[in-house]
Every structure is written in C-alpha cells, then in structure tokens.
Amino acid sequence: MARTIAEIKQQMTDAWMAEGAVRERYGLSSSDTFEGKFSKVSIEGLLFYVVAFGIWVPSFSLLCGFFMPTFK
C-alpha cells in the first residue's frame, strides 16, 4: 500500500529535526517536534509538503494504474 503525503512528510521532517546543524541553527531542543515548532504555512512546512506531494504522486499513479509518460 502506498504511503500517504502525511506519512512521507513525517518521515522527512523527523530526519531533518534529528540533524544537529538544524537544531543548532533554529535553537531547538531534542524533545521538540516539527509540528510543535513550525506552522503548516511556514516556509519549511510548505517546502516539505511540496516535496512529499512530489514523492507521493508517482506512487499514487502507479497504484491507480495511471500512465506515467517517460521523456527521452
């Protein structure tokens, strides 16, 4: 079964929040969560959503049997 956009975004934000450089730059503690520190409409939240959507579209298309064109 294909992952949802929310699941893809959660996996990406968990990995991003685990980075020491990110924690230092944003002044985050190890117990902070992405959802707790960043709004859904923050630039970071929107960028992660767009990337998660881009990852989700091909998997959804294959699941539904849609044709994905290839460019040569």
What are the domain boundaries of the chain? 5-64
The pLDDT, as a whole number, for residue 46 is: 97
Identity at 29, one-letter amino acid code? S
On whether the CB atoms of residues 37 and 28 are closer than 8 A, the answer is: yes
The pLDDT, as a whole number, for residue 3 is: 87
On whether the CB atoms of residues 5 and 58 are closer than 8 A, the answer is: no
Q: Is the pLDDT of residue 64 over 80?
A: no
Query: Binning pLDDT at 50, 70 and 90, where does residue 59 land?
Result: confident
The pLDDT, as a whole number, for residue 58 is: 79
Structure tokens at 4: 């949802």
Structure tokens at 27: 């002044």
Q: For 19-56, what is each residue's pLDDT tens digit?
A: 999 999 999 999 999 999 999 999 999 999 999 999 88
